[in-house]
Amino acid sequence: MNTEKQFEDQINKCREIFLKKASDYGTAWRIMRPSSVTDQIFIKANRIRGLQINDTAMIDEGQEPEFIGIINYAIMGLIQLEKGFADTADFDTATAEQYYNKYARLAQELMMRKNHDYGEAWRGMRISSITDLILMKLYRIKQIEDHDGKTQISEGIDAGYYDIINYSVFNLIKLDEQKSK
């Protein structure tokens, strides 16, 4: 298994959806404050957890589109942290794609470093456990946001977003691997 290639395949799928939505909606997300982006990710992660716990779903969409949404929102969150929120959709699609590519690359580089040090431990984890880690990261981010981004010892909001991207990519890889069996 080539984690780097699998990561790239999943990010390419996410980017394609991001760009199609940018074509449909523009970059309306630019008006969102980072805390609103965090709440959007929180909604998606809670839905995934509900799908994992409950026997039935009332909406005919599985976990995969929600993980894709989490990745795309987390990248939007990183962009908002760098650029600040705007009063209008002030990016064209090409600019949004440049920022998307930057943060996807940085997330992948971080994943490769951590994956080396942790020995691909995520491969032995359950999708549900990784989902719980995403929710835990979101609660931490919300706490940091409630403290105006200030921490005494912890990593910042951006580190949480990067971890959420990587955890979500891991789960997409795991879901794909389950489909192939």
Instruction: State the average pLDDT over residues 28-48.
Output: 97
- Which residue stretches of 86-151 are H helix? 93-118, 127-146
Q: What is the pLDDT of residue 168?
A: 98
Instruction: State the average pLDDT over residues 23-37.
Output: 96
The pTM (predicted TM-score) of the whole model is: 0.96
d(CA 75, CA 25): 17
Q: What is the pLDDT of residue 132?
A: 98
Q: Who's near 98: CB < 8 A, 6+ residues apart?
A: none
Q: What is the pLDDT of residue 55?
A: 75
CB-count exposure of residue 157 (10 Å: 0-12, 13-18, 19+): buried
Contact 89, 26 (CB under 8 A): yes
More confident residue, 31 or 62: 31
DSSP letters along 142-180, please?
A: HHHHHTTT--SSS--HHHHHHHHHHHHHHHHHHHHHHHH
pLDDT tens digits, one per residue of 114-171: 999 999 999 999 999 999 999 999 999 999 999 999 999 999 999 999 999 999 999 9
Please say if the pLDDT value at position 58 is more than 80: no
Alpha-carbon dihedral sign for residues 102, 169, 163, 146:
positive
Q: Which of 172, 128, 123 is CA-nearest to residue 9?
A: 172
Q: What is the pLDDT of residue 26?
A: 95
The token pair that represents 130 in the structure block: 């990784």
Confidence of residue 59 (pLDDT cuts 50, 70, 90): confident
Task: Please tell me what DSSP assigns to residue 120.
Answer: T
